[in-house]
Every structure is written in structure tokens, then in C-alpha cells.
Amino acid sequence: MGIRWGAHCLAALLISICSGVVVALQYNPSEPFFSTLTLELVVPYGSFWRGLHYYSSQFFFLLLLIHLAVVIAENNHGYTRPTWIRLSASLPVALLLLFTGYILRGDNTGAAAGMIAENLALSIPLIGKSVNALLFAVSESSLKKVYAQHLIGLMVPGGYFIWRHLRRYQTRLRYHLPLTAVLLLCSITVPAPLEPDRPGAGLIAGPWFFLGLQELLRYLPPFWAGVFPPILFLAALLFLPFEGGYRRPLLRALSLGLLLYLALSLVGYQRIMGHA
């Protein structure tokens, strides 16, 4: 089962990369919202390609999470500790790829995501300015640095982390026709989200995977709400023993953390819908 989900995840990633190349050819990071709007309204089939890139990216991340959960549950993968650490490190890279994609939209959601990301990076003790200068620096360089990270800076380490792992999976199209059909149908019938600036609008909803942290930011300082929980989750994942007495407590802690995050996400979603 783990290999099957991993293969679907890889197929969605390949579709996302191919459609992303088409989108990138039409995108100007100096005018992000105008570029996105032009792609939607002026470029032939631009709305389709942007939708395909958006939905394949969302499916990729969802399938990656399912693949990870199944692999942990089955516990028969035979990975060595260095391999497991390398593969686990691909999870935050995938999350940042998806997050920077939201920022690059340049709309209300993207602008809010960029501002929050920069503030979270700056809240990291000692190295916050360096992390922000490396990944975001939206206020200084507009979206040029985010664009470079999305295209190259995150793709290179992500490719390194998973390259040896890819040969496990079957990527022939005929094995992924249902997934491909769903992605094509979504891209044709459901436009990818694009939220223009509306004066007097209610609360701005961040990316769906960020709603829990967005809600937590209401109660805790930025570092403890938006930086420490992901680091803690990743640390538990990295040191998850395959055998031994610590595996079950760590699994329980990870499951409890995910349930808590889901609850926070639902609360945040209800709050945003109440202000819509």
C-alpha cells in the first residue's frame, strides 16, 4: 500500500512540475498579481495550466502525507536510519514549495501568507534574519527571492532527498489514469483560487494546511505558535524508532498533535467563515 500511494504522489509531482514550467514562462515576480491575472484571462489556456499546476500540487502534498502515514503504519519498509532522515527532510521542503506557491499568487491570500512567513522567520532566535533573507525577504526583494526558491532553491534539495527513493515507484501513465483524469477535470471545471484585494474584507484565510498555525497565532507568540510546533513534529518524525520501546509513545504523540492541529484548523476555518 505504501508503494502504491508513493507512486501516485510521484505522478502528481511530475504533473505539477510540467504544468509549473508552462506557468513559469508567463510569470513575472515583479508584478505577481498582474501576471497571475493575465495568465487567467489573457494567455490562451492559461487558466487550465494554472489550475493543473494548482490542483496537482495540492494532490501531491495530500498524497505525500497519506504515503507517509501508510509507511509508518505498515512499518515494513526496511529503510536505514540515514535514508529515513533524508526522506523525512523532504516533508518540510514539500511544505515550503506549496507555501511559496501561495505567496507567488500575489493576491490577498498570497500577500498575507508572505507577511506571516516573513514574521515567523524573523521570530527565530539568533538566525531569524538569515533564515528570512534566505527564504523570503518579501519586504526587501518583493517576490523575486521567493520565486527563485520555488523554482530552484527548494527543488534542488528536494530532488536530492528523494532521488534514490524514486526507483521504487511505477510512473507509467496507465497506472495513474484515474488520478490524471481527476486533475484534468478539476483544472477544466474549477478555476484555481485567486482572491483580489477587497477593502473592508473579513479575515483572510491562509492556505488550508496553515489554518491551524494561523489560529494558534491568536494565542501564542510567533515563534511558539508558528515555528516550534513544526520543528517538534519533524524532530519526532526524524527520531521515530522503527523498533524499540520509544516507537509507540512517539506515534501517540504524533497522532495527538495531528488531531489537535486538525481541531485548530476547524476552529480557524469557522472563525474565517463567520467573518466572510
pLDDT 10s digits, 32-68: 999 999 998 888 999 999 999 999 999 999 999 999 9
Spans of the chain, pLDDT less than 70? 1-2, 77, 168-173, 197-205, 241-246, 275-276
Q: What pLDDT is attached to residue 204?
A: 67
Q: Give SS3 for 133.
A: helix
Q: What pLDDT is attached to residue 123?
A: 95
Q: What's the CATH code, domain 2-115+154-194?
A: 1.20.810.10
Q: Of the candidates 163, 141, 144, 140, which has an alpha carbon nearest to the alpha carbon of residue 152?
A: 144
Tell me how far CA of residue 154 lies from CA of 91, 121, 257, in angstroms: 11, 16, 26
Q: What pLDDT is attached to residue 173?
A: 66
Q: What pLDDT is attached to residue 224?
A: 94
Q: What pLDDT is attached to residue 248?
A: 80
Q: What pLDDT is attached to residue 27?
A: 93
The grid coordinates of residue 270 equal 469557522
Residue partners of 54: CB distance under 8 A and separation at least 6: 101, 187, 192, 193
Q: What pLDDT is attached to residue 199?
A: 52
Gap between the Cα atoms of 116 and 112, Å rounded: 6
Tell me how far CA of residue 74 lies from CA of 6, 80, 224, in angstroms: 13, 16, 32
End-to-end CA distance of the chain: 40
Q: What pLDDT is attached to residue 245?
A: 62
CB 36 within 8 A of CB 27: yes
pLDDT digits (tens, 9 = 90+) for 76-96: 767 788 888 888 999 999 999
For the chain, which residues make up each domain, given as ranges? 2-115+154-194, 203-276
The grid coordinates of residue 40 equal 487567467
Gap between the Cα atoms of 127 and 142, Å rounded: 21
